[in-house]
């Protein structure tokens, strides 16, 4: 059976959610701060204990050597294990009770191996027996023992009345050739000066640990801040690039849709145009040629049968000549609309000038052309589009405005070319013209849209006409709309 998770208190859940909402840098700084502070507390406490222990041991060792040297002179031939005689007790009183050493050694005791106090600077304790344990047992084992005592042991009753803590030191005293420990000297050292030294050393160690921890934390802050700034900048750049990519993808989708629609409309317009060309060929040159063929057949049959007079023969030849000449002229007009002059080696600006010059030569008129020479390279499809656009626009202006003040202006705008074709003709309603099925305007607009450009026409009855077109100058501009 699965164990159910213990539900967390609401405040813990709130803290977790609040923490998750913070940035990674803030989370890192908060966690590192707690870790560093915890480490500082642990290290500072450990250093404090080490300082205290080392200070006590050092003070105890110095005092032990000093006291041991004094005892060696005072105890003389004392063999240990027996009671202290009066002369030896008086000698010890002269050192620990009445002498200058009493200022530092506030209490002195001499123990035998049975746990009996052989001598004490507090005479009331002499002869009392206690269990040998703790530091006293360690001293009888042959090692100097020291600690800061809270005076809570049974043999410290008189010391507790005057002091709260003392340095407690046990010094083993050896006698005989074998160096056996027969007695232990116990003395208590005042903590006043040592406590000040320990406190000052602890404060210095805590200050060093705090400064080191603060320096480490500030270093982490600077590193994390720089890293966070870099990450934030990269995230901002990625978001901007992602937005640009989304925008570009959206534009590409819209462009593909426009190209698909423009391609479909162009296909329909091409069909209409082919029908119109077929109609023009059928109603124009085909009729004239048919007439010429009929006259030739009539002329041939008449000449063979001798039924056509000589004068009528020449009139028939003149009719045939006029019909064929008219057919040839109409075919040339139709061919001029279908053919494309060689513009593969021309720049964009030269293509614009070529279209204007071809129109002028065809219709015997003059167009005011203002072309930017910096319009150099462009794909062939773009140059074909601008050539067809200009020829159709200028031809429409000639047919409907009789070429009144026709002008062409071509300028560069970044990666695009701005084309303007205008005249001062009678004008018309553009939407009505599109709705009427005029193939010229439809072809111009669809050609421009198919290569990724924009097409606008501005005209009103009585105010002339202006065609405004933007064409990309590179395939990249075409792809990105």
| Each residue's pLDDT tens digit, 220-277 | 888 888 888 888 888 889 999 999 999 888 888 887 887 777 766 666 666 666 666 6
Q: Is there a domain that residue 463 lies in?
A: yes
Q: Which residues form the domain of 466?
A: 341-481
pLDDT score, position 48 = 82
Say which DSSP state 376 is in.
-
User: What single DSSP character describes residue 436?
Assistant: T
β-bridge pairing 105-112 and 180-189: antiparallel
In a domain, 110, yes or no: yes
CA end-to-end span of the chain: 64
Listed residue (239, 153, 219) closest to 188, CA to CA: 153
d(CA 141, CA 126): 23
Please report the pLDDT score of residue 1 as a whole number: 43
Q: Express each pLDDT in 386-401 by its tens digit.
A: 998 898 888 888 887 7
Same domain, 332 and 383: no
| pLDDT tens by residue, 36-64 | 888 888 988 888 888 877 877 777 777 77
* Paired tokens of 149: 């005592």
**How far is 1 from 134, CA to CA, in rounded Å?**
53
For residues 116 and 10, the model is more confident at: 116
Least confident of 26-35, 206-215, 291-300: 291-300
Of the candidates 57, 48, 43, the one whose C-alpha atom is nearest the C-alpha of residue 203 is 48
User: Do 40 and 105 belong together in one domain?
Assistant: yes
Report the range of poorest mean pLDDT among 156-165, 377-386, 391-400: 156-165
Proportion of the chain above pLDDT 70, given as a percent = 75
* Same-domain check for residues 318 and 464: no
Element (H, E) at 296: helix 285-305
* pLDDT(347) > 60: yes
Mean pLDDT of 133-144: 86
Residues 185 and 299 in one domain: no
Band (417; pLDDT cuts 50, 70, 90): very high
Same domain, 326 and 389: no
Would you say 356 and 386 are in contact if contact means Cβ atoms under 8 Å apart? no
Say what the pLDDT of residue 278 is.
63
Q: How confident is the model at residue 167 (pLDDT cuts 50, 70, 90)?
A: confident
> 421 or 232: whose pLDDT is higher?
421
Residue 477 has pLDDT above 70, yes or no: no
SS3 helix, strand, coil % of the chain, rounded to 5? 60, 15, 25
209 pLDDT tier (thresholds 50, 70, 90): confident
**Which three-class secondary structure state does DSSP give residue 453?**
coil
- The verdict on 193 and 110 lying in the same domain is yes
- CA–CA distance from 176 to each of 74, 93, 110, 327 (Å)? 17, 25, 18, 154
What is the structure's pLDDT at 420?
95
309 vs 296: CA distance, rounded Å = 15
Mean pLDDT, the chain, whole residue set: 78
If pLDDT is split at 50, 70 and 90, which confidence band does 2 have?
A: very low
Query: Are 303 and 380 in a shared domain?
Result: no
**What confidence tens digit (pLDDT) does each residue in 349-358 have?**
999 999 999 8
What CATH number corresponds to the domain at position 132?
Answer: 3.30.450.20
β-bridge partners, 116: 129
pLDDT tens, position by position, 9-34:
777 777 777 777 777 778 788 888 88
* Contacting residues for 140 by C-beta, under 8 A, at least 6 apart: 113, 132, 172, 181, 184
Please answer whether residues 284 and 327 qualify as being in contact, where contact means their C-beta atoms are separated by less than 8 angstroms.
Answer: yes
Which one of 169, 198, 227 terminates a domain?
198
pLDDT in tens, 74-110: 665 565 556 777 777 787 777 777 776 667 778 888 8
CATH number at residue 376: 3.30.565.10
Overall average pLDDT of the 163-183 stretch: 79
Taking residue 168's Cβ as centre, other Cβ atoms within 10 Å add up to 25
Q: Mean pLDDT lowest for which of 380-394, 424-438, 447-461?
A: 424-438
Q: Which of 107, 142, 140, 112 is nearest to 128 (CA)?
A: 112
The pTM is what?
A: 0.42
Edge to edge, the sheet with strand 368-371 lists 368-371, 407-413, 416-423, 465-472, 454-459
Q: Which two tokens stand for residue 125?
A: 């304790």
Query: Alpha carbon 50 to chain centroid distance?
Result: 48
Cα gap 227→29, rounded to integer Å: 12
Of 146, 163, 198, the residue that ends a domain is 198
**Spatial separation of the C-alpha atoms in residues 58 and 44, rounded to whole Å:** 21
Residue 400 lies inside a defined structural domain of this protein: yes
Do 345 and 328 lie in one domain? The reply is no
Q: Are 154 and 130 in contact (CB under 8 A)?
A: yes
Residue 379 pLDDT greater than 80, yes or no:
yes
DSSP state letters, 162-227: T-S-EEEEEEEEEETTTTEEEEEEEEEE--HHHHHHHHHHHHHHHHHHHHHHHHHHHHHHHHHHHH
421, part of any domain: yes
- In this structure, the answer to whether residues 309 and 370 fall within a common structural domain is no
* Shared-domain flag, residues 60 and 184: yes
3-class secondary-structure state, position 59: helix
CA distance 220 to 226: 10
Decide: 465 and 397 in contact? Cβ < 8 Å: yes
Instruction: Tell me the H-state helices in 339-456.
Output: 348-363, 380-401, 430-435, 439-450
Q: For the chain, how many structural domains are there in total?
A: 3
Model confidence at 369: pLDDT above 90? yes
Provide the pLDDT for residue 303: 53
Torsion of CA 272, 277, 279, 280, to 10 degrees: 140
Per-residue tokens: 290: 């048919």
Question: Are 126 and 83 within 8 A, CB to CB?
Answer: no
Domain C-terminal end among 318, 339, 360: 339
How far CA 437 is from CA of 268, 432, 453, in Å, comes to 12, 9, 22
Higher per-residue pLDDT: 327 or 284: 327
Whether 140 and 30 share a structural domain? yes
| Confidence at 294, pLDDT banded by 50, 70, 90 | low
Query: Do 379 and 350 fall into the same domain?
Result: yes
- The pLDDT value given to residue 279: 58
Residue-wise pLDDT tens digits, 313-346: 667 677 776 767 766 766 666 666 555 667 778 8
Cα–Cα dist 377/346, whole Å: 9
Average pLDDT over residues 191-207: 81
């Amino acid at each position: 059976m699965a164990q159910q998770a213990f539900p967390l208190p609401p405040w813990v859940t709130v803290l977790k959610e609040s923490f998750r909402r913070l940035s990674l840098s803030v989370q890192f700084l908060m966690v590192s701060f707690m870790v560093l502070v915890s480490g500082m507390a642990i290290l500072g406490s450990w250093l404090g204990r080490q300082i205290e222990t080392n200070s006590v041991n050092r003070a105890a060792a110095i005092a032990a050597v000093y006291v041991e040297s004094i005892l060696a002179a005072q105890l003389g031939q004392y063999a240990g294990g027996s009671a202290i005689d009066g002369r030896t007790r008086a000698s010890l009183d002269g050192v620990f009770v009445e002498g200058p050493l009493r200022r530092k050694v506030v209490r002195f005791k001499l123990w035998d191996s049975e746990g009996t106090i052989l001598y004490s600077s507090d005479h009331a304790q002499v002869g009392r027996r206690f269990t040998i344990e703790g530091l006293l047992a360690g001293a009888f084992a042959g090692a100097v023992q020291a600690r800061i005592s809270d005076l809570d042991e049974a043999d410290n009753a008189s010391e507790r009345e005057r002091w709260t803590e003392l340095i407690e030191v046990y010094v083993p005293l050896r006698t005989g050739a074998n160096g056996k420990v027969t007695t232990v000297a116990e003395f208590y050292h005042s903590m006043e000066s040592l406590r000040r030294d320990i406190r000052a050393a602890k404060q210095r160690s805590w200050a060093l640990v705090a400064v080191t921890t603060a320096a480490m934390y500030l270093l982490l802050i600077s590193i994390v801040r720089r890293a966070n700034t870099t990450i934030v900048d990269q995230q901002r750049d990625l978001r901007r690039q992602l937005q640009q990519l989304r925008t570009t993808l959206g534009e590409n989708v819209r462009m593909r849709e426009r190209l698909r629609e423009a391609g479909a409309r162009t296909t329909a317009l091409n069909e209409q145009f082919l029908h119109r060309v077929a109609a023009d060929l059928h109603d124009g040159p085909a009729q004239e040629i048919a007439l010429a063929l009929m006259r030739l057949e009539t002329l041939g049959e008449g000449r063979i049968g001798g039924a056509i007079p000589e004068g009528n023969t020449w009139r028939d030849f003149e009719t045939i000549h006029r019909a064929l000449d008219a057919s040839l002229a109409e075919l040339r007009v139709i061919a001029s609309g279908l053919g494309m002059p060689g513009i593969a080696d021309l720049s964009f600006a030269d293509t614009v000038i070529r279209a204007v010059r071809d129109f002028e030569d065809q219709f015997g008129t003059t167009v005011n052309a203002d072309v930017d020479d910096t319009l150099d390279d462009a794909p062939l499809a773009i140059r074909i589009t601008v050539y067809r656009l200009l020829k159709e626009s200028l031809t429409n202006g000639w047919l409907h405005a009789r070429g009144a003040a026709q002008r062409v202006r071509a300028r560069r705008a970044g990666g695009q070319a701005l084309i303007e074709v205008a005249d001062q003709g009678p004008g018309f309603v553009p939407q009505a013209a599109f709705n009427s099925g005029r193939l010229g305007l439809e072809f111009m607009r669809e050609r421009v849209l198919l290569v990724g450009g924009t097409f606008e026409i501005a005209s009103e009855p009585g105010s002339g006409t202006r065609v405004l077109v933007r064409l990309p100058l590179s395939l990249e501009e075409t792809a990105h709309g």
